[in-house]
Amino acid sequence: MSVRNIALGILFLALASLPYWMDGIFYINVSSQILFYAIFALGLNVLVGYAGLVSLGHAGLFGVASYATGFLLAEGFGHTEAILVALVIGVASTAVFAALSLRTTGIGFIMITLALGQILWGLAYRWISLTGGDNGINLHGRPAPFGISLQSPTAFYYATFVVFVVSVVAVAIFVRSPFGAALMGTRDQPRRMNALGYHVWMIRFIACLLSGLLTCVAGILFVYYTQFISPQALALTSSAEVLLMVISGGPATLLGPIVGAVLVVVVKNVVSGFLERWNLLLGAIFVAIVILMPEGLVPGTARLWRAAWQRMRRRADAAGTPGDAEPKP
């Protein structure tokens, strides 16, 4: 039983019982936000952390799924059809996105995803006949799976929680699978992986699809949560926020993006209560994290913890050794 497993167990129990100890609808809603942003961050982390491909266009994919859901519902489709078709559209967009951006890696990948994300934002903003432009699309009502209405904040929280747990388990299995190992291989040594007979491009492409699927799931939860979707959700700021979650928490860790989501959503909600300048703070946090703790909060804290633990052990050893040494003449 490692420290990590105990921490995960406590986290799970705390989240599962959250509506019972968390006071007030506002905080339950913030918790739902944290969970679907955590799904989004987990999805982005598959690319940023495990594949070493930094995407600055993921808010575009998130938005495609949200808009598709909103549009289909407005056209009179049922919830099940809307969600399924939105997922298909989202993953298909991801495939196009990936096919274009995977022509390069490194900075090239960042720039192409950024440009693609901005193009999707531009479409949402200007293609008024489809998206409603700046006015966005309003939704009416949430789905009721198995006859349970998700209208109340608590019910919606639990639905998000279930999807969240499934996503975390899926990512955990994915990372530990041979495919996950191959993906990390393509991140660290693409040429050797190629020489070993792995299809590097295809491995990266599949990682993109998984990342896109999680992003779209988060997008659909988002649109049902806010009941509204506007181009703001696709802006570069949104992509950057999610990237901040991954980077601040610690890329290539399971817990990192979740911690990052908690940090960003809480700071954003708390700060926007009494300060208008969220972007200024976001930018400053970005710069500070990169300069001060480039490996992220989770690995950074783990490193400090391990160092402190070793120092304590060494001190205990140092205290014990003279006693052992003394009997010798």
Partner 1 sequence: MTFWLVLTVNSITFGGLLFLLSAGFSLIFGLMRIPNLTHGSLFMLGAYLGATLTIGLLYVTVNFWLAAILSGLMVAAFGALTERLLLRRLPGDQLAQVLVTLGISFMIADVCLMLWGGDPLNVETPAGLGGFLRFGALALPLYRLAVIVIAMIFAIALWMLLDRTRLGAMIRAGVDDPDMARVVGIRVSQLFTIVFALGAGLAGFAGIIGGPILSVYPGLDQDMLPLALVVVILGGTGSLLGSFVGSIIVGFIYNFGQALLPELAYFVLFLPMLLVLILRPQGLFGRQVP
Q: Does 196 participate in binding partner 1 (rule CB under 8 A)?
A: no
Q: Which amino acid is at 33?
A: Q
CB–CB of 90/216 below 8 Å? yes
Three-state DSSP state, 270:
helix
Three-state DSSP state, 140:
coil
Q: Does 5 participate in binding partner 1 (rule CB under 8 A)?
A: no
Per-position x/- string for 127-166, each x denoting binding to partner 1 as judged by CB under 8 A, each - no binding? xxx-------------------------------------
Per-position x/- string for 230-249, each x denoting binding to partner 1 as judged by CB under 8 A, each - no binding? -----xxx--x--xx--x--
Q: Does 4 participate in binding partner 1 (rule CB under 8 A)?
A: no
Smaller CB separation from partner 1, 104 or 321: 104
Of the residues 35, 73, 114, 298, which one makes contact with partner 1 according to CB under 8 A: 114
Can you tell me the distance from the alpha carbon of 270 to that of 266, in angstroms, rounded to the nearest whole number?
A: 6
Report the Cα 113 to chain-centroid distance in Å.
17
Smaller CB separation from partner 1, 184 or 244: 244
Report the Cα 251 to chain-centroid distance in Å.
10
CB of 252 to partner 1, least distance (A): 12
Per-position x/- string for 50-89, each x denoting binding to partner 1 as judged by CB under 8 A, each - no binding? ----x-x---------------------------------
Q: Does 205 participate in binding partner 1 (rule CB under 8 A)?
A: no
Residue 278 vs residues 33, 256, 259, 267, 310: alpha-carbon distances, Å: 17, 22, 19, 9, 39
Can you tell me the distance from the alpha carbon of 67 to that of 73, in angstroms, rounded to the nearest whole number?
A: 10
- Within positions 275 to 304, which residues make up the interface with partner 1, using CB under 8 A? 277, 279-280, 282-287, 289-291, 294
CB–CB of 247/260 below 8 Å? yes
Query: Which residues are within 8 A (CB) of 110 and not within 5 positions of it... i.e. 6 or more apart?
Result: 54, 55, 56
CB of 109 to partner 1, least distance (A): 10
Smaller CB separation from partner 1, 95 or 282: 282
Query: Which residues are within 8 A (CB) of 216 and not within 5 positions of it... i.e. 6 or more apart?
Result: 61, 62, 64, 65, 86, 87, 90, 91, 94
CB of 195 to partner 1, least distance (A): 19
Q: Which residues bind partner 1 (CB under 8 A)?
A: 54, 56, 100, 103-104, 106-108, 110-112, 114-116, 118-119, 122-123, 125-129, 235-237, 240, 243-244, 247, 277, 279-280, 282-287, 289-291, 294
